[in-house]
Amino acid sequence: METTSDIAACITRNLTRYFQDLDGQVPCNVYEMVLLQVEKPLLIKVLEQCGGNRSQAARMLGLNRNTLRKKLLQHGLDE
């Protein structure tokens, strides 16, 4: 089971590789890029954990249901 430090280490490794792959080019929107990459699998796994119950998922995530719905739409996860 991964811990938060494992997740942080994974993000750090991938960002290091990302910046190396840019080979001197200036990155943009890194914050948004990382959040989008982390948020989608987070939403998917929490919804799976909650058996698709959005109210329960929203509570688990600490979001209100409208915010969760907006995020699901943003990631193409709204059915």
Q: What's the rounded Cα separation, in Å, for the pair 77 and 61?
A: 16
Q: What's the rounded Cα separation, in Å, for the pair 65 and 72?
A: 10
Total residue length of the chain: 79
Quote the pTM value: 0.80
Q: How far is CA 70 from CA 4, 10, 24, 59, 78, in A?
A: 26, 27, 35, 15, 9
Domain ranges of the chain: 4-74
Question: pLDDT for 27-64, tens place per residue?
Answer: 999 999 999 999 999 999 999 999 999 999 999 999 99
Q: Which of 78, 41, 76 is nearest to 65 (CA)?
A: 78
Mean pLDDT score across all residues of the chain: 93
Q: Which of the four CATH numbers 1.10.1740.10, 1.10.10.60, 3.30.365.10, 1.10.10.10 does domain 4-74 have?
A: 1.10.10.60
